[in-house]
Structures are given as structure tokens and as C-alpha cells.
Structure 1
Amino acid sequence: MPTGVALRDAREQLFAAAERILLRDGPSALTSRAVTTEAGCAKGVLHRHFADFDAFLAELVLDRVARVDDQATALCASAGTGTVAGNLAGALTDLFGSVAVAIVALITSRDDLRARLRRAGPTGVPILAEATAMIAAYLTAERERGRLAPGTDIDTLAPTLIGAAHLLFADRKGTAPDPGTVHRVVSMAVAGAARDPAR
């Protein structure tokens, strides 16, 4: 493989290659050689940008966590529009229909990566912890607008929604759930709290 090929944004190309491998072959197939081969670059490119492969994986996870933060902003901005269940179903589908499920599998399969991420961020499993916070912030915004009952237990409802959605999307090799299934599960979860007629 040529070593003189310049990559315009090496980090993002390497991250995108790692995502493709994760989605196609799972976390056990993710090696530095597999990533650089998938990205079409020399192996040394990865080591010029990252101290080691675990550092690369940690940065990949943190980059994808930042995307959840961006999604959280958009979801909170949707509060008061559409239906609560519709907004949640869309956000959960966007989240788990992406590489998030594969990232969770990667984190749980690598002890060194998990330990490194624990030093860098909040407790819990990265991606899932941020996703739970995103859902909780949205539910809080809807409760403040009166679209959820005042006594809605957001600290219980948010992780319940994340867990249910994660289970729906967890089979990497299977077919993704259809939007109606996701909406039905979300509707059932928020049924006791939602005040909008269409939920």
C-alpha cells in the first residue's frame, strides 16, 4: 500500500473506516491493520495521529458521543412540536439506526478501552449514558410545556426508553425494526405520562 498518499482528513477517514468495519464485521474484526486497509492508507498513518490503537478507539467513541450531543440539541428544540412519542421514536431510530449499537458492543468487548473512557467521562456506558441524558432533557422540556404529566418520573422513563430501543436495534445482522414498531414501543412507555392525544 502506498505510504505517500495524503489524506485530507485522516482522522475522519480512519473513523469512517472503523465504523464500516464495526457495522459489517463487528468489534472483534476491528484492528489497526483492518482500519488502515479499509481507509486505503498505510498503517503508519493511524500511528501518526494516535498514540496507540486504544487511543484511536477512545477518540472514535468520544467523537461519536459528540454527535449525540448535537442530536440532543435538535431533539430538545423539537419539544412542543409534533407528538412526544413521534419525536422520541425519531430520535431513538436516528441514534440506534446509526453506529451507536456497534459502538456499545465495542466498548463492552474491550476492557482497556472501557477503562480509558471511564477516566475521560461520566459513569455508565458511553453513548448510552449520553443518550439517556438526551432523552431525559427532552422529557423535562416536554414536562415543562405541560405535554407530560407533572409527576412524570423522568429518571426512570429515560433509561427505560433507551433500554427498550437498544433491544429493538441490538441484532447487528438482523433487519432493523420498522418505524411503526419503534413508535408503538415508545407510545407504550410514555402512555401513562403523555398528555397529547396522539401521544
Structure 2
Amino acid sequence: MPTGVAIRDVREQLFDAAERILLSAGPSALTSRAVTAEAGCAKGVLHRHFEDFDAFLADFVLDRVNRMDARATALLASAGAGTVVDNLTEALIALFRSVAVAIVALVTFRDDLRDRLRRTWPAGVPVLTEAVDMVAAYLAAERDLGRVAPDAAIDALAPTLIGTGHLLFADRRGDPPDPAAVREVVASVTAGAVR
């Protein structure tokens, strides 16, 4: 891109480029040069907007975590409709078919990124901990509606569902699991809790 040409929404353009690279080539391919080339801008653009590449990556991860708010709202709104197992199955499939699995790999892959994220995200991997909160809120809403047992261990069920979902989808290069397989896992994990 020629010097002096204004780039609209440069942060979003760079984040979208990073997501495309992460999904297509994995965390090892994610470099500042690759991001700016994918975004179609000069390398200096990234460094004008971010302290360094790890600052960029931390903001990218947190931006993608914030995008989960809409998914969490939709899941919570589904409480009382359909079945608990189907709602959770759809939520896990939507979550793990997104960039979430690749972000987990990125955070695991880069020690400096993890350290930087710890400044604002004290525990866990941001995408996964946010997903646990999303599922726990949904299960609590279903418990309030009487569709989940009052003594259900929501604090154990939510991370179990997210951890199991992550394991099912962790192979980014292979085919994603069949929705029926995801549903079977959700049904097994929630069998003692769902009414």
C-alpha cells in the first residue's frame, strides 16, 4: 500500500488478517510481516498502532474473546427453548468452529503473549475461560427454569463441556467432528444434570 494512503479501521483489518493466517497456517506462521502482507499494508502500520507484536497479538486475542459476547447472549436467550443438550451442542460447535481453537494454540505457543495476557486476564486461556463462563451462565438459567437439576454441579459441568469440546475440535487440519458425535458427548456429560 502506498505511503500516505489512509487505512480505514486499521486495527480490524490487521486483526482479520491475523485470523486468516492463524486459521490457514497456524500460530507458527503468524508474524508481523505475514500479518501486514495479508492486510495489504506496510509493516510500519502495525508498529504505529501497537507497542510491539506481542501487544498486537494480546489485543487480537482479547478482541476475539469480546466477540464471544454475542454467542453468549444467544446461548442464554435459548434457555427454556429446544433441549438443553441441543442448545449446548450448537454452542460448542459454533464456538470451536470459530477461531477459538487456533487462539488456544497461539496462546500456548507464545510465552511472551501468555505473559502479556496475564496482566489483564489473570487465569486460564482467555477464549476457554470465557467459554466456561458462557456455558455456566446458560446452565444456571436452565436450572432456574427447572430444566437442569437444582443440585447440578455447574462449576464442574461447564469446564468439562468446554474441555471436552476443545479436545474434539483440537485437530485443526482434520475434519471437524460430526455434530452427532458432539451431541453424544454433551448428552453423556450432562446426563445426571439435565431433566
User: Do structure 1's residue 104 and structure 2's residue 116 form an aligned pair?
Assistant: no
Paired residues, number: 195
CA contact under 8 A between 1:27 and 1:105: conserved in structure 2? yes
For residues 4 and 19 of structure 2, the distance between their equivalents in structure 1, rounded to whole angstroms, comes to: 24
CA RMSD of aligned residues (A): 1.1
For residues 185 and 8 of structure 2, the distance between their equivalents in structure 1, rounded to whole angstroms, comes to: 43
Compute the displacement of 1:178 (Å). 1.8
Question: Percent same amino acid at aligned positions?
Answer: 72
User: Do structure 1's residue 165 and structure 2's residue 165 form an aligned pair?
Assistant: yes
For residues 5 and 191 of structure 1, the distance between their equivalents in structure 2, rounded to whole angstroms, comes to: 58
What per-residue deviation string (whole Å, max 9, x for no partner) do you get for residues 140-165 of structure 1? 11011100111100011001100110
Q: After the TM superposition, list the runs of 4 or more consecutive aligned residues in structure 1 that deviate by more than 4 angstroms.
A: none
What per-residue deviation string (whole Å, max 9, x for no partner) do you get for residues 73-105 of structure 1? 221111111110111011111111000000010
For residues 38 and 174 of structure 2, the distance between their equivalents in structure 1, rounded to whole angstroms, comes to: 23
Counterpart code for 2:89: A
User: Do structure 1's residue 121 and structure 2's residue 121 form an aligned pair?
Assistant: yes
Unaligned runs of 5+ residues in structure 2 are none
Q: Secondary structure at the match of 2:137?
A: helix
For residues 99 and 66 of structure 2, the distance between their equivalents in structure 1, rounded to whole angstroms, comes to: 13
For residues 67 and 119 of structure 1, the distance between their equivalents in structure 2, rounded to whole angstroms, comes to: 20
Counterpart code for 1:111: D
- Counterpart of 1:153 in structure 2 is 153
Counterpart code for 1:115: D
- Counterpart of 2:8 in structure 1 is 8
TM-score, normalised to structure 1, is 0.95
Counterpart code for 1:172: R
Unaligned runs of 5+ residues in structure 1 are none
TM-score, normalised to structure 2, is 0.97
1:15-26 correspondence runs (5 A): 15-26=15-26
- Counterpart of 1:192 in structure 2 is 192
